[in-house]
Structure 1
């Protein structure tokens, strides 16, 4: 496995600068493409699964986090408040308080539930300098977050559906979780004191895991301060584990924010809040993808999906036309002309690109391309239309296989 900090910089995906600050990486063009592709994928998946996307501010009043419980239980990881116009404002450490307030801003009927609210939003953690590194431990996090407001009898199905989405996303990214963990409270004052709430939420999640059939380990001391969670762990190049995706059950914040819905009986009832993140933070997801794939990303994530290689200068006009056709088909393409070296050298130069379209004199005459796949397979020459159709189909399907006969 590769070290994403080294390889990510070599591939021109991201970098850092002391003037910006530790734990605050910036994304270079190729890295921005990977990030954007991930974000578009998860938004599409969520929309098809019935989620509604929102935006919320990265700041909130201190009082917001006092109500949510973050100020009492999570303040060591938060930035100090800023005095603004006589009020204390805080960079948010989490999106859930904002979403709770957004839910509360409108009345809701039981007929609307489950209400699934999703956001790709920034949050901030006051990490110590000694633990910062690359994309895995940063101070500004872009989180694929969502909160499902539902009735008690809907919780298990919503948590199970989130696990299914996580499994599909991992398949599309070509990764697997190292292990599933049921994260439970441990000793100490970190957690909300509500034993009955913890027991009920933990029972729901353990039953969801049992029903899913995945092996898991219960680990005390790893829960969120407001509730237990399912954590999907991944390993880095040094074998260190970290959490990528989560599913959490929360009875605490609905009570703190006095959330309710009108039931079939016409009375007010308290919803349950299911927190879930399919790909976790974009930063950590990309770090894991770099290390797992060594920069040879699945085609739908690759910064360049097709490298067009004219055999000689005589085919460069045809290569330019092919480039334009690729762009019009929403494919990311680069022409590597003959002045960049021999054909063999250019094949090596573009070895991480999923598809190499080679154009020689015969291909120009016949309106064809010779295709070389990143895995070393060489395909017979075929029409440009057929080649683009096949490639585009694989990419749109988010399939990690490059070609099927």
Structure 2
């Protein structure tokens, strides 16, 4: 048994990510940077980068093309999209630069709409799936900020599928399946699925709401998922499927979404040439697999208590030389760990070092016998030990276990 204990085999106790994340040296804050603006420490950055690489690879294999777009846009951009009139209270005020008003973007949707319309499009290109891990900014009030789960500077895993009306339902079903696949790999449980519908008042734009709602209801039914329909939770431009998670205190939040949008394609004049040679309007399916990277990592800390899946762990292998005599061998083995995030722990007693690395998936003890035989003795997170084996074979086996799911 080479796999370290997984979430399903460990006690499912939720932890407070704000406390544990600091204790483990994953992230921190400073009043000079500001509230709701955490910084990532080296181990936290490793977790974040591994998560981002996993999502990019998952999207690439699902047919998404990745783009990069600026974190700023002219105020006019958000007036066209509808954010300025319907979402202004959550946006930062404009900055006057060179006679123009620039705004920190509250979402990536308008930029992706402009990328779509950067050239003519044919029905043969659709569905066109555009994805980005990009920054966005929300002017959250101080009272609602919380660790990584509610911040002001957000790294969003976002994507937009531009498709025909006939393709929209299948694309939304596929997006929801991708979310569920990622949750399985990450060990995240869904608290509930919510169909977020418009409510009363002027928060929502006029548009084809009934058609969009019907598509999402069919998506949930085809996916075999029970859900709650809740009024007043839709985006201003369209209804959405919200994938809800819960923290240790039972507080719910939205991590992932799938949305159907007829509004922004019309606002930006998006078109494609159909088989009939005429111009048609695409549908815009918004989807986010893990939502914000910050909130996703907060949930991972709480779910796993810092004992992340091996592929996500900041340190995957810890080499433990019993004494200074084994240190040169440990360094030589570390040089061969090209595909592993590995480190040497040599200070203190062996027992103390093992306890200190209790969250590391694999700890390899190097004593005189192992050095003489060119072997490693591996200890797993659950305390079990594996028979000593040749070092190269151990590294290859661990490398196979920690590859991204």
Structure 1 residues 6 and 95: alpha-carbon distance in aligned structure 2, compared to 1, 3 A threshold: same
1:189-227 residue CA offsets vs partner (Å, 9 max, x unmatched): 111123xx1110011111111111122111111110000
CA distance in 1, matches of 2:97, 2:371: 65
Corresponding position of 1:370:
377
CA distance in 1, matches of 2:383, 2:221: 42
Corresponding position of 2:267:
256
1:233 aligns to 2:240 (yes or no): no
Corresponding position of 2:340:
331
1:89 deviation in Å?
1.0
- Map 1:6-405; keep pairs closer than 5 Å: 6-194=19-207, 197-326=208-337, 328=338, 330-337=339-346, 340-398=347-405
Runs (4+) of structure 1 moved beyond 2 Å? none
Corresponding position of 1:402:
none
CA distance in 1, matches of 2:130, 2:364: 42
User: What is the DSSP-based 3-state SS (H/G/I as helix, E as strand, rest coil) of the residue aligned with 1:303?
Assistant: coil
1:397 deviation in Å?
4.0
1:164 deviation in Å?
1.2
CA distance in 2, matches of 1:201, 1:86: 39
CA distance in 1, matches of 2:382, 2:59: 32
User: What is the DSSP-based 3-state SS (H/G/I as helix, E as strand, rest coil) of the residue aligned with 2:402?
Assistant: helix
Q: Which runs of 5+ in 2 are unaligned?
A: 1-13
CA distance in 1, matches of 2:106, 2:261: 17
CA distance in 1, matches of 2:371, 2:108: 54
| Larger relative contact order (CA 8 Å, sep ≥ 6) | 2
User: What is the DSSP-based 3-state SS (H/G/I as helix, E as strand, rest coil) of the residue aligned with 1:258?
Assistant: coil
CA distance in 2, matches of 1:390, 1:67: 54
CA distance in 1, matches of 2:389, 2:308: 25
Aligned residue pairs, count: 392
CA distance in 2, matches of 1:376, 1:107: 60
Q: Which runs of 5+ in 1 are unaligned?
A: 399-405
CA distance in 1, matches of 2:174, 2:121: 22
CA distance in 1, matches of 2:401, 2:180: 19
User: What is the DSSP-based 3-state SS (H/G/I as helix, E as strand, rest coil) of the residue aligned with 1:141?
Assistant: strand
- Verify the 8 A CA contact 2:54 2:404 in the aligned structure 1: no
1:237 deviation in Å?
2.0
Q: TM-score, structure 1 length as denominator?
A: 0.95
CA distance in 2, matches of 1:341, 1:292: 30
CA distance in 2, matches of 1:170, 1:62: 36
1:19-48 residue CA offsets vs partner (Å, 9 max, x unmatched): 111111111111110111111111111111
CA distance in 2, matches of 1:141, 1:396: 27
User: What is the DSSP-based 3-state SS (H/G/I as helix, E as strand, rest coil) of the residue aligned with 1:248?
Assistant: strand
Q: TM-score, structure 2 length as denominator?
A: 0.95
CA distance in 1, matches of 2:397, 2:213: 46
